[in-house]
A and B are shown apart, each in its own frame.
Chain A
Amino acid sequence: MNTWIERQRGLIDTTVANLRRRKARNLGLLLAYVLLVFLLASVVLFGDGMRREARLLLEEAPELVVQRLTAGRHDLMPAQWLERIADLRGVAAVEGRLWGYHHDAAVGANLTLQVPREAAPAAGRVHLGATLARLRGLAPGDVLSLRDHAGQPHAFVVEALLDSRSELVSADLVLLGEADFRAFFGIAAGLYTDAALRVVNPLETRTVAEKVLARLPATRVISREEMRRTYDAVFNWRQGLPLMVLSVLLAAFALLAWDKASGLSAEERREIGILKALGWDSGDVLAMKLWEGALLSLLAFLLGYTLAWLHVYYAGAPLFEPVLKGWSVLYPHFALAPEVDISRIVSLALLTVLPYVAATLVPVWRAATLDPDEVMRE
């Protein structure tokens, strides 16, 4: 065992000396390697962070949402309908919700206007998503002016900005009081956008949904699970695209590594020949070369991953914003909650180190099995 350790130590010493001796060459490779890890890790960390945000939001969402359909289209729901499903077995609470979209010409985007379940702003006051506030240049105390359904301007005093912990989805959000909402959109009292249902036992969600449909046939029932899946799919697709780009990069990197490793310089061949003549066997040279790859990979991975982590969690991922969130003019400028996930680290390590190993293995093996008497003939 001790011999084994001493031998590995000797091999590592030699490897480090070799890496140092060929600084320029190895630095170039290292740089490419770090860049690759950095890009890949950034995409993955960023995509994960966004999905987590969305899911955080969904956790607060009701188990079931019931929407009235008229001729197959979403319609306002009368308050009596709420009462008709409130007494179904398994339903814990029913609540009418008020929300809607409003196109804001000033920012050129759709705003979401919503009456919060609790702590609604007082009349004439609103709470704003931080991104929207930034785009409109508004701070608490300023006035937000919007044109209502009849084209009349409505002025709201900005009371507060929304907590930016989950800014991704709240970026374009305007919270206001019920009376203001009804006046703004011209919705009569006793009508709601849709209904939110809480069920007693989450496992029975499906059964409850069936009962709701039986009692109110002209509705559509959406479960939280379904919403979650849609969200995940959306974010995933967006994460999938840059991953494609990166796999091309990965291939390019593998080629580079192959080129570096197979283009063993005459000098290097000679040196390996000397080692073999001095009593190193193929296994020793192979082990040394594998150590070289391992050290390089470890260094590149640590550097690249750390940089990506800082980039995504502390710098707000400036590189990927346009790619990943390009669907909206409202670029959320939010900070993702830092997280270290071992499975991500393992998979990123596999994705970056394996191509390197695969590309260098054969050239390394070829070098290691050079004839030991090659140095004698010069």
Chain B
Amino acid sequence: MIFQPAALALALLLASSLNALGLAVAGLFALRMLRHWHPDIGSEAQIALERRTHLVSTLVVLSLLLSLPMLALFTHTADAMAPFFAGAMCAVGSLKANAWGLPALAVMLVGFFLAAAWLVLHRLDTRGWDQPLLLAKYRLLLLLAPLALAQAALLWLYFGGLKAEVITSCCGSLFGPAATGTLAELSALPEAIARPLFFLTLALTLAAGATLLVRGRLGRAFGVLAGLNFVVALAAIVAFIAPHIYEQPHHHCPFCLLQAEHGYAGWLLYPLLFLGTAAGLGAGLAAGVRAQSLHNEAPRLAAALARIAVAALASFGAAVSFYLWRSNLVM
């Protein structure tokens, strides 16, 4: 491992390994829970299981708390390592220095959203006297645990396999006129289409969120829209938002946004988008819960999450508008 930020990489490896260990324990427990849980038998075995749920939920909470700094640290590390690889200009180059970087990032992102969803279920479940979401919760855990293991494995493979003399490609080969593939096609999406699409989706999402807040309706639609908005927003960043921030028509890279030269725009935009999306998906999830014992709690949590989501996504929209307005680029 000859690369610059040794402390950063070490921190990431430690964090992801502990995270994987914790969630592996949680996953094994989920298996036991799904097989042996009988809510109305007060036997010692049941009480022992119930005790263990506290450990498991704490593990997932900690895992979620960990996932955001890890995500930030990983992208930052990739960015900081770029000068090390011939050909790399930003995080993309470092991430592509071997086959594991980009998958690791993707798994981290998915893991973050899933952990957030799990916590929404958990929060509701513990507030219903009959624990109506218990099974759903532990089934989801069966998904989260392997993901955490995969994340740790990918990070070890990635950092372990880094070689300073590797010649990697810069972001232009991934997002740009010369590139091929889905990402390149996104870059080629004309602004005349991408821009209205982006603002329309965002507006619809915010409208659904507002309806959920005011009328208590359209909760599930809001969740779906928040997810859709996430995809559209990422595409829009590649297609036209990033070029406007760089003021270069052919520079589409979503990672260069993290750099100091561009005013750390990415460190403003991405956290808002991620937070808003996670809260929006959570609100949709909570609004979709129909259990009798949660008829008060579920809508209340949905509203609380919707407030966060709407605030974050509205700020995201405002920030994007600001960058577009400030830009001198005419595409």
Contacts and interface: CB of A to CB of B under 8 A. Distances in A.
Question: Looking at chain A's contact residues, is the secondary structure mostly helix, strand, loop, or mixed?
Answer: helix
B73 A350 contact: yes
A351 B10 CA distance: 8
Nearest to A350: B11
B83 interface: yes
Interface centre among B2, B6, B54, B80 (most CB of A within 10 A): B6
Contacts of A347: 5, 7-8, 10-12, 73
B6 A239 contact: yes
Question: Looking at chain B's contact residues, is the secondary structure mostly helix, strand, loop, or mixed?
Answer: helix
Contact of A343 (B66, B76, B86): B76
Range for the number of chain A residues in contact with chain B: 20 to 34
A365 interface: yes
Contact of A369 (B2, B51, B59, B126): B51
Contacts, number: 84
A295 interface: no
B7 A365 contact: no
Nearest to A45: B7
A343 B6 contact: no
Contacts of B12: 347, 350
B162 to A, nearest CB: 12
Contacts of A233: 2, 164
B73 A343 contact: yes
A162 interface: no
Given A343-B73, A346-B69, A236 B55 contact: no
B14 A350 contact: yes
B58 A365 contact: yes
Interface in B61-101: 62, 66, 69-70, 72-73, 76-77, 80, 83-84, 86
A296 interface: no
B239 to A, nearest CB: 25
B313 to A, nearest CB: 21
B18 A354 contact: yes
Interface string A217-257: 00000000100110011001101100100010000000000
Given A47-B6, A243-B10, A350-B70, 7 more contacts: A233-B2, A240-B1, A283-B126, A347-B8, A347-B11, A358-B22, A365-B55
Q: Which 8 A-B pairs have the closest CB atoms?
A: A347-B11, A369-B51, A350-B11, A44-B7, A365-B55, A347-B8, A343-B76, A282-B54
17 contacts: A233-B2, A233-B164, A243-B10, A282-B54, A286-B58, A343-B8, A343-B80, A344-B8, A347-B11, A350-B11, A350-B66, A350-B70, A351-B10, A354-B66, A358-B21, A365-B55, A365-B58
